[in-house]
Amino acid sequence: MTARARRRARVEVAVRERAVLGEGPTWDPATGRLIWVDILGSRVHTHTPADGTRTVMATGQHVGAAAPRAGGGLVVNLRDGVGLYGPDGAFSWLVHDPVPGRRGNDAAVAPDGALWAGSMRDDEAPGGGRLIRVAPDGTATEQLTVGVGNGTGWSPDGGTMFHIDSLTHRIDAFRVEDGPGGGGSGPGGAAPDGPRLTGRRTFAVVEDGAGVFDGLTVDADGCVWAALWDGGQIRRYTPSGTLDRVLELPVRRPTSCAFGGPGLRDLYITSARVGLARPHPLSGSLLVLPDAGQGLPATPFAG
């Protein structure tokens, strides 16, 4: 990586906010807005860049992620499971699975319209969380045992899934394969009614002292952009896993990133202020790096 590829990002403030644990930026093309959450604040935020309007909705319990639904409304990864908000705001549980001391964390919608939802224990115990695939009909199948289930994304052709368990300090890559009848079973995560994850390999590792991988997004070239918690950076890795760009941020704890805006060219970055004795004034805000690259169109949850 050349010195030119490492630079202070000229970020702008999309939403000045004091979110405790901002996370999960997701672009909703149907409404032209950016959806993100404050996990510990139990809030879902939206921001419409075209006119600057925003909304804030309380969820009543910790919310790890929110994404648009194909028919309107939101799917949310909550403390006690996965829930649905209708276009009218009415709430219902899709998967209700409360476990004391465990909460939902990051989540992402796969190209086939299913939700992949991570979880973690409040004490961040290794193996205390899981990554589940939630089909549109609510069928939930466990794919992986994790410590802190975080960033998940897919290559442009959908054949590779990238995933972060933050306790491992690495990004893993899996082949996504269909079994008989569109599903299958086998080691590494699988279910009769869903895809199989095979060929697990280490895609990228963060060096000691540089921070912890948190959320990620994949661009149209197949590059993986990952946020470094306690590292104050967004890093981009080529499809071969080579680090080729480092964006230095003013905030110490960026949590995730996603492309949005006109043409999916702008990189939105969430951040946190939790646990910081002297947080930067922008910690907890939604930041944006204009014209950072080319994103992939988001798939809404099909349920």
Residues classed as catalytic: 214
Query: 3 Cβ partners below 8 Å, 6+ apart?
Result: none
Q: In what order do the strands lie in the sheet with 140-146?
A: 102-109, 115-121, 129-134, 140-146
E-state strands within 110-237 = 115-121, 129-134, 140-146, 149-154, 160-165, 170-177, 196-205, 212-218, 224-229, 233-237
Q: Note the maximum CA span of the chain.
A: 54
First-to-last C-alpha distance (Å) of the chain: 42
Give the position of tokens 């368990």: 165
Beta bridge partners of 84: 75, 92
